[in-house]
Protein backbone atom coordinates (compact mmCIF):
# COMPACT_ATOMS: atom_id res chain seq x y z
CA UNK A 1 0.00 0.00 0.00
CA UNK A 2 1.31 3.39 -0.88
CA UNK A 3 2.10 5.71 1.94
CA UNK A 4 -0.55 8.16 0.74
CA UNK A 5 -3.29 5.55 0.83
CA UNK A 6 -2.12 4.23 4.17
CA UNK A 7 -2.31 7.68 5.64
CA UNK A 8 -5.77 8.12 4.14
CA UNK A 9 -7.18 4.91 5.59
CA UNK A 10 -5.49 4.92 8.98
CA UNK A 11 -7.30 7.98 10.19
CA UNK A 12 -9.70 9.45 7.63
CA UNK A 13 -10.57 13.02 8.42
CA UNK A 14 -14.02 13.91 7.24
CA UNK A 15 -15.47 17.12 5.94
CA UNK A 16 -19.21 17.46 6.10
CA UNK A 17 -21.04 19.31 3.33
CA UNK A 18 -24.76 19.91 3.07
CA UNK A 19 -25.95 20.78 -0.43
CA UNK A 20 -29.43 21.86 0.51
CA UNK A 21 -30.64 19.04 2.71
CA UNK A 22 -33.43 19.23 5.26
CA UNK A 23 -30.72 18.93 7.98
CA UNK A 24 -31.92 15.54 9.12
CA UNK A 25 -28.98 13.69 7.58
CA UNK A 26 -26.71 16.37 9.03
CA UNK A 27 -28.09 15.67 12.49
CA UNK A 28 -27.37 11.96 12.02
CA UNK A 29 -23.82 12.76 10.90
CA UNK A 30 -23.45 14.88 14.00
CA UNK A 31 -24.78 11.95 16.02
CA UNK A 32 -21.96 9.80 14.67
CA UNK A 33 -19.40 12.26 15.95
CA UNK A 34 -20.77 12.65 19.46
CA UNK A 35 -19.93 10.21 22.30
CA UNK A 36 -22.81 7.78 21.89
CA UNK A 37 -21.65 6.48 18.49
CA UNK A 38 -18.23 8.07 18.58
CA UNK A 39 -16.61 7.51 15.19
CA UNK A 40 -13.41 8.93 16.56
CA UNK A 41 -12.61 5.40 17.74
CA UNK A 42 -12.05 4.60 14.05
CA UNK A 43 -9.76 7.58 13.81
CA UNK A 44 -12.34 9.67 11.96
CA UNK A 45 -12.33 13.29 12.85
CA UNK A 46 -14.49 16.14 11.65
CA UNK A 47 -12.39 18.94 10.24
CA UNK A 48 -13.35 22.52 9.58
CA UNK A 49 -11.39 23.00 6.39
CA UNK A 50 -11.66 20.99 3.19
CA UNK A 51 -7.90 21.22 2.79
CA UNK A 52 -7.39 19.03 5.84
CA UNK A 53 -9.93 16.41 4.79
CA UNK A 54 -9.64 12.94 3.27
CA UNK A 55 -13.32 12.12 3.03
CA UNK A 56 -16.11 14.36 1.78
CA UNK A 57 -19.50 13.57 3.31
CA UNK A 58 -22.25 15.00 1.13
CA UNK A 59 -25.88 15.29 2.14
CA UNK A 60 -28.71 17.01 0.32
CA UNK A 61 -30.06 17.19 -3.20
CA UNK A 62 -27.43 19.38 -4.90
CA UNK A 63 -29.41 22.41 -5.91
CA UNK A 64 -28.35 24.87 -8.57
CA UNK A 65 -26.62 27.27 -6.25
CA UNK A 66 -24.83 24.75 -4.03
CA UNK A 67 -23.50 22.77 -7.00
CA UNK A 68 -21.08 25.62 -7.67
CA UNK A 69 -19.77 25.38 -4.11
CA UNK A 70 -19.68 21.58 -4.27
CA UNK A 71 -17.44 21.63 -7.36
CA UNK A 72 -15.18 24.21 -5.79
CA UNK A 73 -14.78 22.09 -2.65
CA UNK A 74 -14.10 18.95 -4.65
CA UNK A 75 -11.34 20.76 -6.50
CA UNK A 76 -9.73 21.76 -3.21
CA UNK A 77 -9.79 18.43 -1.36
CA UNK A 78 -6.35 16.71 -1.37
CA UNK A 79 -6.32 13.65 -3.63
CA UNK A 80 -6.68 10.71 -3.25
CA UNK A 81 -9.96 11.34 -1.54
CA UNK A 82 -13.21 9.49 -0.93
CA UNK A 83 -16.71 10.84 -1.45
CA UNK A 84 -19.60 9.50 0.60
CA UNK A 85 -23.19 10.31 -0.37
CA UNK A 86 -25.44 10.20 2.66
CA UNK A 87 -29.21 10.00 2.49
CA UNK A 88 -31.83 9.60 -0.18
CA UNK A 89 -31.44 13.17 -1.48
CA UNK A 90 -27.75 12.79 -2.19
CA UNK A 91 -28.38 9.42 -3.85
CA UNK A 92 -31.22 10.19 -6.21
CA UNK A 93 -32.68 13.49 -4.93
CA UNK A 94 -35.55 11.62 -3.26
CA UNK A 95 -38.78 13.55 -3.44
CA UNK A 96 -37.03 16.50 -5.11
CA UNK A 97 -36.28 14.60 -8.32
CA UNK A 98 -38.68 16.78 -10.34
CA UNK A 99 -37.77 20.00 -8.56
CA UNK A 100 -36.88 22.97 -10.73
CA UNK A 101 -33.88 23.59 -8.51
CA UNK A 102 -32.28 20.12 -8.52
CA UNK A 103 -31.48 19.31 -12.16
CA UNK A 104 -28.61 16.81 -11.82
CA UNK A 105 -27.98 14.04 -9.26
CA UNK A 106 -24.83 14.20 -7.15
CA UNK A 107 -23.00 11.28 -8.81
CA UNK A 108 -23.27 12.95 -12.22
CA UNK A 109 -21.40 15.96 -10.82
CA UNK A 110 -18.56 14.38 -8.83
CA UNK A 111 -17.48 10.71 -8.54
CA UNK A 112 -19.09 9.07 -5.52
CA UNK A 113 -17.40 6.13 -3.77
CA UNK A 114 -20.18 4.91 -1.53
CA UNK A 115 -23.91 5.47 -1.19
CA UNK A 116 -25.60 5.27 2.19
CA UNK A 117 -29.38 5.15 1.67
CA UNK A 118 -32.02 6.15 4.19
CA UNK A 119 -34.10 9.15 5.01
CA UNK A 120 -32.17 9.80 7.16
CA UNK A 121 -29.75 6.86 7.45
CA UNK A 122 -29.15 5.66 10.99
CA UNK A 123 -25.79 6.51 12.54
CA UNK A 124 -25.07 2.77 12.58
CA UNK A 125 -25.62 2.69 8.82
CA UNK A 126 -23.30 5.63 8.26
CA UNK A 127 -20.56 4.06 10.38
CA UNK A 128 -21.03 0.66 8.70
CA UNK A 129 -20.87 2.29 5.28
CA UNK A 130 -17.70 4.19 5.95
CA UNK A 131 -15.98 1.17 7.53
CA UNK A 132 -16.96 -0.97 4.52
CA UNK A 133 -15.55 1.64 2.20
CA UNK A 134 -12.25 1.77 4.07
CA UNK A 135 -11.97 -2.04 4.03
CA UNK A 136 -12.74 -2.17 0.32
CA UNK A 137 -10.14 0.42 -0.56
CA UNK A 138 -7.59 -1.42 1.59
CA UNK A 139 -8.35 -4.76 -0.11
CA UNK A 140 -8.12 -3.23 -3.56
CA UNK A 141 -4.77 -1.71 -2.71
CA UNK A 142 -3.55 -5.09 -1.45
CA UNK A 143 -4.65 -6.84 -4.66
CA UNK A 144 -2.87 -4.26 -6.80
CA UNK A 145 0.29 -4.83 -4.88
CA UNK B 1 -59.25 46.37 22.15
CA UNK B 2 -60.43 42.81 22.13
CA UNK B 3 -60.67 40.54 19.14
CA UNK B 4 -64.10 41.52 17.82
CA UNK B 5 -63.45 45.22 18.38
CA UNK B 6 -60.31 44.98 16.24
CA UNK B 7 -62.16 43.31 13.39
CA UNK B 8 -65.02 45.79 13.59
CA UNK B 9 -62.55 48.65 13.73
CA UNK B 10 -60.74 47.53 10.55
CA UNK B 11 -64.08 46.94 8.82
CA UNK B 12 -65.38 50.39 9.71
CA UNK B 13 -62.20 52.35 9.13
CA UNK B 14 -61.51 50.80 5.71
CA UNK B 15 -65.07 50.33 4.57
CA UNK B 16 -64.26 50.91 0.90
CA UNK B 17 -61.13 48.73 0.95
CA UNK B 18 -62.37 45.60 2.70
CA UNK B 19 -64.06 43.16 0.34
CA UNK B 20 -64.88 40.33 2.71
CA UNK B 21 -64.20 39.04 6.21
CA UNK B 22 -63.87 35.34 6.93
CA UNK B 23 -63.82 34.48 10.61
CA UNK B 24 -61.95 31.21 10.57
CA UNK B 25 -61.44 30.46 14.25
CA UNK B 26 -60.97 32.28 17.58
CA UNK B 27 -57.31 32.81 16.73
CA UNK B 28 -57.55 33.47 13.02
CA UNK B 29 -59.33 35.86 10.69
CA UNK B 30 -58.98 36.45 6.95
CA UNK B 31 -59.76 39.91 5.61
CA UNK B 32 -60.01 40.53 1.89
CA UNK B 33 -58.44 43.83 0.80
CA UNK B 34 -58.37 45.63 -2.55
CA UNK B 35 -54.83 45.61 -3.99
CA UNK B 36 -54.53 49.39 -4.21
CA UNK B 37 -55.18 49.93 -0.48
CA UNK B 38 -52.82 47.37 1.07
CA UNK B 39 -50.22 49.94 2.02
CA UNK B 40 -52.66 52.11 3.99
CA UNK B 41 -54.15 49.12 5.79
CA UNK B 42 -50.76 47.67 6.63
CA UNK B 43 -49.58 51.02 7.95
CA UNK B 44 -52.60 51.31 10.22
CA UNK B 45 -52.32 47.76 11.55
CA UNK B 46 -48.60 48.10 12.24
CA UNK B 47 -48.37 51.62 13.59
CA UNK B 48 -51.70 52.04 15.39
CA UNK B 49 -52.74 48.54 16.38
CA UNK B 50 -49.18 47.50 17.19
CA UNK B 51 -49.26 44.31 15.14
CA UNK B 52 -46.23 42.33 14.12
CA UNK B 53 -45.62 41.26 10.52
CA UNK B 54 -45.24 37.49 10.35
CA UNK B 55 -44.79 36.68 6.70
CA UNK B 56 -46.52 37.05 3.38
CA UNK B 57 -47.39 34.14 1.15
CA UNK B 58 -48.13 34.11 -2.55
CA UNK B 59 -50.49 31.57 -4.10
CA UNK B 60 -51.07 30.83 -7.75
CA UNK B 61 -54.75 30.01 -7.59
CA UNK B 62 -56.96 29.07 -10.49
CA UNK B 63 -57.74 32.23 -12.46
CA UNK B 64 -55.99 34.67 -10.15
CA UNK B 65 -52.92 35.24 -8.03
CA UNK B 66 -53.30 35.72 -4.31
CA UNK B 67 -51.09 37.26 -1.65
CA UNK B 68 -51.73 36.73 2.03
CA UNK B 69 -50.11 39.15 4.44
CA UNK B 70 -50.09 37.62 7.90
CA UNK B 71 -50.03 39.98 10.87
CA UNK B 72 -50.12 38.91 14.50
CA UNK B 73 -51.66 40.88 17.32
CA UNK B 74 -49.82 39.21 20.12
CA UNK B 75 -51.56 40.78 23.12
CA UNK B 76 -54.96 39.46 22.04
CA UNK B 77 -53.60 36.29 20.41
CA UNK B 78 -55.02 36.92 16.94
CA UNK B 79 -53.58 36.21 13.50
CA UNK B 80 -54.98 38.54 10.87
CA UNK B 81 -54.37 37.52 7.25
CA UNK B 82 -55.01 40.18 4.64
CA UNK B 83 -55.93 38.49 1.41
CA UNK B 84 -55.25 40.41 -1.79
CA UNK B 85 -56.45 39.03 -5.09
CA UNK B 86 -54.55 40.05 -8.20
CA UNK B 87 -55.78 39.34 -11.74
CA UNK B 88 -53.28 37.38 -13.84
CA UNK B 89 -53.18 40.09 -16.50
CA UNK B 90 -52.01 42.72 -14.03
CA UNK B 91 -49.72 41.29 -11.39
CA UNK B 92 -48.82 44.52 -9.65
CA UNK B 93 -49.09 45.72 -6.09
CA UNK B 94 -47.56 48.41 -3.91
CA UNK B 95 -44.49 47.28 -2.05
CA UNK B 96 -44.59 47.23 1.75
CA UNK B 97 -40.80 47.28 2.05
CA UNK B 98 -40.59 51.09 2.42
CA UNK B 99 -42.88 50.76 5.46
CA UNK B 100 -40.98 48.00 7.26
CA UNK B 101 -37.84 46.06 6.47
CA UNK B 102 -39.46 42.67 7.10
CA UNK B 103 -41.30 42.76 3.80
CA UNK B 104 -38.14 43.27 1.76
CA UNK B 105 -36.93 39.71 1.24
CA UNK B 106 -40.31 38.02 1.00
CA UNK B 107 -41.29 40.42 -1.78
CA UNK B 108 -38.09 39.68 -3.62
CA UNK B 109 -38.87 35.98 -3.28
CA UNK B 110 -42.44 36.37 -4.54
CA UNK B 111 -41.15 38.45 -7.41
CA UNK B 112 -38.75 35.79 -8.67
CA UNK B 113 -40.84 32.70 -7.93
CA UNK B 114 -44.30 33.95 -8.95
CA UNK B 115 -43.58 37.00 -11.08
CA UNK B 116 -45.50 39.58 -9.07
CA UNK B 117 -44.25 43.15 -9.50
CA UNK B 118 -43.89 45.19 -6.33
CA UNK B 119 -44.06 48.91 -7.08
CA UNK B 120 -41.65 51.04 -5.07
CA UNK B 121 -39.48 48.21 -3.76
CA UNK B 122 -36.08 49.67 -2.81
CA UNK B 123 -33.87 46.77 -3.90
CA UNK B 124 -35.45 44.33 -6.35
CA UNK B 125 -32.82 41.68 -7.05
CA UNK B 126 -32.96 37.90 -7.13
CA UNK B 127 -32.91 36.25 -3.75
CA UNK B 128 -32.97 32.48 -4.23
CA UNK B 129 -32.63 31.65 -7.91
CA UNK B 130 -29.19 31.36 -9.49
CA UNK B 131 -27.87 33.86 -12.00
CA UNK B 132 -28.24 31.52 -14.99
CA UNK B 133 -31.99 31.17 -14.44
CA UNK B 134 -33.78 32.59 -17.52
CA UNK B 135 -35.66 35.85 -17.26
CA UNK B 136 -39.44 35.58 -17.21
CA UNK B 137 -39.63 31.93 -16.05
CA UNK B 138 -41.40 31.58 -12.72
CA UNK B 139 -40.99 28.16 -11.10
CA UNK B 140 -43.89 28.27 -8.65
CA UNK B 141 -46.55 29.10 -11.21
CA UNK B 142 -49.01 26.40 -12.20
CA UNK B 143 -48.04 26.65 -15.87
CA UNK B 144 -44.31 26.21 -15.23
CA UNK B 145 -42.63 23.85 -17.68
CA UNK B 146 -39.08 22.56 -17.57
CA UNK B 147 -36.73 24.80 -19.53
CA UNK B 148 -33.39 23.14 -18.72
CA UNK B 149 -32.46 20.71 -21.49
CA UNK B 150 -29.61 19.23 -19.43
CA UNK B 151 -31.75 18.20 -16.48
CA UNK B 152 -31.78 14.49 -15.63
CA UNK B 153 -35.10 13.31 -14.25
CA UNK B 154 -34.62 9.58 -13.81
CA UNK B 155 -33.37 7.81 -10.72
CA UNK B 156 -30.45 6.25 -12.52
CA UNK B 157 -31.20 2.65 -11.56
Q: Average model confidence (pLDDT) for chain A?
A: 88
CATH number of B3-119: 3.30.460.80
- Domain positions in chain B are 3-119
Fold of A3-144: Rossmann fold (3.40.50)
Q: Which residues pair with B30 in a beta bridge?
A: B22, B81
Closest partner residue to B152 (CB to CB) among A64, A100, A105 is: A105
DSSP assigned state of B134: P
Query: Residues 6 or more apart from A13 whose CB is under 8 A from it?
Result: A44, A45, A46, A47, A52, A53, A54, A55
Give the residue from chain B lying closest to A90, CA to CA: B155
Task: Give which of B90, B132, B133 is closest to B113, Cα–Cα.
Answer: B133
Of B130, B140, B145, which to mutate for an interface test with A (greatest number of A Cβ within 10 Å)?
B130
ipTM score above 0.85: no
Per residue of chain B (157 residues), what is the pLDDT tens digit?
788 888 888 888 888 888 888 988 889 999 999 999 899 999 999 988 889 999 999 999 888 999 999 999 988 899 999 999 999 888 999 999 999 898 999 999 999 999 999 999 998 888 889 888 888 899 998 888 888 888 888 876 5
Cis preceding linkage at A80, omega within 30: yes
pLDDT score recorded for residue B156: 67
Give this prediction's pTM.
Answer: 0.81
- Domain positions in chain A are 3-144
A51-89 per-position pLDDT tens digit: 999 889 999 998 899 999 999 999 999 888 889 999 999
Amino acid sequence: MSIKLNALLKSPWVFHLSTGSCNNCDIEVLDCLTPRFDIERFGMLLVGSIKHADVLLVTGSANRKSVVRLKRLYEQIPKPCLVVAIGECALSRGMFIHSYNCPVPLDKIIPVDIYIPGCPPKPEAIIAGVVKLINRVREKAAVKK
Amino acid sequence: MDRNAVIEDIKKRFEADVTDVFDKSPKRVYIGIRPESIRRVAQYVLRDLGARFNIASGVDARGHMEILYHFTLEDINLLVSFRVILPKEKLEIDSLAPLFEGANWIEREMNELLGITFKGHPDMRRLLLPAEWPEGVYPLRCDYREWDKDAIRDRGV
